[in-house]
Amino acid sequence: MTWNRPVPLLGDQTSASERAAEVEGWAFPQTARETFYDVVAARRDVRRFRPDPVDPETVRRVLAAAHMAPSVGHSQPWRFIVVSDPATRDRAARMADEQRLRQARQMDPEAGRRLLDLQLEGIREAPLGVVVACDRRTAAAGVLGRATFPDADMWSCACAIQNLWLAARAEGLGVGWVTLFEQHDLEALVGVPDGVVTLGWLCLGWPDERPPAPGLERAGWSRRQPVDEVIFAERWSEATPAPPSHLRAPANDAVVGARDEADVLLTPPGSLGLLDRYVDRVEAAMQERRESAPTGQLLLVAGRHPVTSHGVSAYRESVTEDVLAASKVGESAGAVAAAAAGLDFEVVDAGTATGDLVTSDALSADQVSDLIERGRGLGAAVGSHHVLQALGEVGIGNTTVAATLAAVLLDLPASDVVGLGAGADTAMVRRKTEVVEAALARVHAARGPGQLLPEEALACVGGPEFCVLAGAVLGAASTGAVSVLDGLATSVAALAAVRIEPGAAAYLVAGQRSGERAHATVLEHLGLEPLLDLRLRAGEGVGATLACAMLISGLKLRRGIGRTAP
């Protein structure tokens, strides 16, 4: 049965099939595009103006274009103070002249003379001045996008200036941007309050020069760099090259194909929220693998840790052996969870670390590379049968190891990474923190400052299951299979894997966020939002398995929901 596509009454009414049929359908006609590029190429910093007035309607069109500029978090922080009073323009011109003389004095005589030759009379001549101001009184943290780039509001105002400039050029008006002011002088001149800053003075009027090339270029101050000198491929060209990643994310057409496929369902696009985003990821992987049935396997990896001698776990080490044995007969939590979710199950003993982190490295470099290789083989084997690899671990004491590894990989203090593990009390948390601090101090003393390579971190403060799990992520990704992470330990292992091969990040799903302290931070660094948040601390891949069941339901929804006509 094919249903009518529910066309939304709001927003974008195009369908995925329309967009796919004509990817260039958003372009303007050829002549309009040519005109646009002509305007961009012909924009000049104009310094000489005719005294003729500018029609207020034209000024308004130009300012409205400025107001159409992009702004961070749609904050529209710009304000345009339009100055026509000749007395104010005179005072601004005098201030700029003063700065020009002051700067010329500090330059070598030749450059100074050329600065003095520069035309600044535009401030007096142009009938209008526009002081562009940025209202910065909203806290950066309150604006989407400014918490991380606090100056993005100023850049938004610069975008507005560029819009104004291009619109003015199209109208035949000239604009000259003058920043030869002391900030506070200009701000006082037009009376802006505290917390509002100016981006300079724009002279606006009919031009009395029509320069074919930039004035500073003609005056020999500078030249337009060839465009190829400012475009780098992939990375800054002076930087040392990143380690090559052999892994590739699913091709763009697979990712877009997965989304397009979802667009024709009889449900609002993206209605499954975060689950939809992860289903897109798995669908893209399945398209590349030319697979139609979503199946998965839980890989449960066990490890043993001499750090337990420091009293960091509420349980005896023998629990690890019990869980291993129970797994073999299908009675561990992980084994039962896998069966309940319809996943295949494999348990692997990765062995015992040889050091306690505090007095010696957990593993040798050779052990680490052997264990990673072993993991690669296991992950690739899972990937040869299944698109989903749920990851789990068991290892009494390994939350202390996971915390230390997270601290080393992310440069965090012990207090930010130590958690309750399988059931620590306050005294044990204190002891765990001291152990992590001691391990970090040993690493810093032995290796000095600077980041360790992921393999070095695994050797210094890792453990066998962490190496095997990191390898399993890489091995699965190499076959195009997606790894579903469980608690802190599997996530830290995935972080190490992504440090080894950045391409692996596209093949990860955060199954859950556990109660372990550092888990949220590690997931943030992986750029992953957790599907579930149940305060689990079961380990053994129980959370990953629950998330896999949900992913498989999501994939089945995708396949089962009725299709609509394009």
Ligand X SMILES: Cc1cc2nc[nH]c2cc1C
Q: Which residues bind ligand NCN (CB under 6 A)?
A: 313-315, 393-400, 421-422, 424, 486-488, 514, 516, 537, 539-540
Are residues 182 and 197 in contact, defined by beta-carbon separation less than 8 angstroms? Answer: no
Which of ligand X, ligand NCN, none does 400 bind, CB closer than 5 to 8 A by kind?
ligand NCN
Q: Which is nearer to ligand NCN, 43 or 431 (CB)?
A: 431
Judged by CB under 6 A, the number of residues near ligand X is 7
Binding ligand X (rule: CB under 6 A), the pick from 120, 178, 394, 406 is 394
Nearest approach, Cβ of 392 to ligand X (angstroms)? 8
Contact code string over 353-392 relative to ligand X, x by CB under 6 A: ----------------------------------------
Please tell me the distance from the alpha carbon of residue 277 to that of residue 281, in angstroms, as a whole number.
Answer: 7
308 CB-near residues (< 8 Å, 6+ apart): 317, 396, 397
Please tell me the distance from the alpha carbon of residue 540 to that of residue 153, in angstroms, as a whole number.
Answer: 47
Told to check if 410 binds ligand X by CB under 6 A, we report no
Q: Which is nearer to ligand X, 319 or 452 (CB)?
A: 319
For 241-266, b/e burial (b = at least 16 CB within 10 A) is eeeeeebebbeeebbbbbbbbbbbbe
Q: Which is nearer to ligand NCN, 128 or 518 (CB)?
A: 518
Which of ligand NCN, ligand X, none does 59 bind, CB closer than 5 to 8 A by kind?
none
Nearest approach, Cβ of 381 to ligand NCN (angstroms)? 22
Please tell me the distance from the alpha carbon of residue 197 to that of residue 180, in angstroms, as a whole number.
Answer: 15
Q: Which is nearer to ligand X, 163 or 313 (CB)?
A: 313
Q: Which is nearer to ligand NCN, 48 or 519 (CB)?
A: 519
Q: Which is nearer to ligand NCN, 361 or 516 (CB)?
A: 516
Q: Which is nearer to ligand X, 34 or 331 (CB)?
A: 331
Told to check if 515 binds ligand X by CB under 6 A, we report no
User: Of 531, 508, 532, 556, nearest to 274 (Cα)?
Assistant: 531
Please tell me the distance from the alpha carbon of residue 564 to that of residue 105, in angstroms, as a whole number.
Answer: 73
Told to check if 540 binds ligand X by CB under 6 A, we report yes
Told to check if 255 binds ligand X by CB under 6 A, we report no
Q: What is the 3-state secondary structure (H, E, C) of 135-201?
A: ECCCCHHHCCCCCCCCCHHHHHHHHHHHHHHHHHHHHCCEEEEECCCCHHHHHHHHCCCCCEEEEEE
Nearest approach, Cβ of 282 to ligand X (angstroms)? 26
User: What DSSP string runs through 194-254?
Assistant: TTEEEEEEEEEE-BS---SS-HHHHTTS--PPPHHHH--SSS-TTSPPPPP----PPPHHH
Are residues 493 and 395 in contact, defined by beta-carbon separation less than 8 angstroms? Answer: no
Nearest approach, Cβ of 544 to ligand NCN (angstroms)? 9
Contact code string over 417-456 relative to ligand X, x by CB under 6 A: -----x----------------------------------
Are residues 80 and 124 in contact, defined by beta-carbon separation less than 8 angstroms? Answer: no
Told to check if 315 binds ligand X by CB under 6 A, we report yes
Binding ligand X (rule: CB under 6 A), the pick from 118, 154, 319, 557 is 319
Per CB under 6 A, the segment of 175-183, 234-242, 315-323, 520-528 that binds ligand X is: 315-323
Nearest approach, Cβ of 462 to ligand NCN (angstroms)? 14
Alpha carbon distances (Å) from 197 to 177, 178, 541: 16, 15, 54
Six-digit token pair at 218?
Answer: 């003609």
Nearest approach, Cβ of 420 to ligand NCN (angstroms)? 7
- Residue 209 corresponds to which amino acid? E
Q: Which is nearer to ligand NCN, 124 or 305 (CB)?
A: 305
Place of tokens 């299944």: 386
Which of ligand X, ligand NCN, none does 196 bind, CB closer than 5 to 8 A by kind?
none
Collapsing DSSP states into helix, strand and coil, what is residue 290?
coil
Collapsing DSSP states into helix, strand and coil, what is residue 82?
strand
Nearest approach, Cβ of 313 to ligand NCN (angstroms)? 3
Which helix (H) or strand (E) segment is 484 a member of? strand 482-485
User: Under the rule (CB under 6 A), what is the footprint of ligand X?
Assistant: 315, 319, 323, 394, 422, 539-540
